[in-house]
Structure 1
């Protein structure tokens, strides 16, 4: 049971990510250099800026916020259609409790 079907995920070699290819990280490196500091692990953040593989920050945010919106809206419409078709929810406005509008208990 289970198992992988198809190619397993291939982890890219770390040498493909370079600080020099990411303007934001170059700025960080230069700012640290002005203070006499360096970050040997800065290259580890370069993957986050790879637009081909991971998209832009905006595209990732849109995917996070709106993923499943279409399916959810269709399910909402189906629920409303079923309730309307079966008569569920009709006449439940007002107070409920089985009383008429004349106030008799």
Structure 2
């Protein structure tokens, strides 16, 4: 399906990730160690903090503000049009 002869992505080997590469996760690891706990799956989250992958807030920012400039421009043009045609419409409504 989709015309791909292979997977559209390559899953990296899990051994390339180290918790030490993500300062945020090291903080969590140290907090857990203070309580005598450990998280053997913490390494699975390192990819989220990798520079190869954008942060979730970056994706949200792109999603929310995509087309913002075009929309703002069209809004300005609409306001200008309304102001220019306002006097004509107002005089027309006064005669009714």
Secondary structure at 2:20 match in 1: helix
70 and 8 in structure 1: CA distance in 2 versus 1, 3 angstrom threshold: same
Task: Give SS of 2:31's match.
Answer: helix
* Structure with higher helix content: 2
The total of aligned residue pairs comes to 91
Q: State how far apart, in whole Å, the 1-side matches of 2:14 and 2:20 are.
A: 14
Residue 44 (structure 1) aligns with: 44
Identify unmatched segments of 5+ residues in structure 2: none
TM (norm. structure 1) is 0.57
- TM-score under structure 2 length normalisation: 0.61
User: Larger C-alpha radius of gyration, 1 or 2?
Assistant: 1
1:68-98 C-alpha deviation (Å, 9 max, x unpaired)? 3244446x36x84xxx6xxxx972x6xxxx9
Query: Can you give the 5+ residue segments of structure 1 that lack an aligned partner in the other structure?
Result: none
Q: Which structure has more RCO (C-alpha within 8 Å, separation ≥ 6)?
A: 2
Distance 1:99 1:67 in 2: 39
Alpha-carbon spacing, 1:2–1:45, altered in 2? closer, same or farther (3 Å): closer
Moved over 6 A (4+): none
Q: Deviations over 1:13-64 (max 9, x none)?
A: 222221111111111111111111111111121111112x223465444323
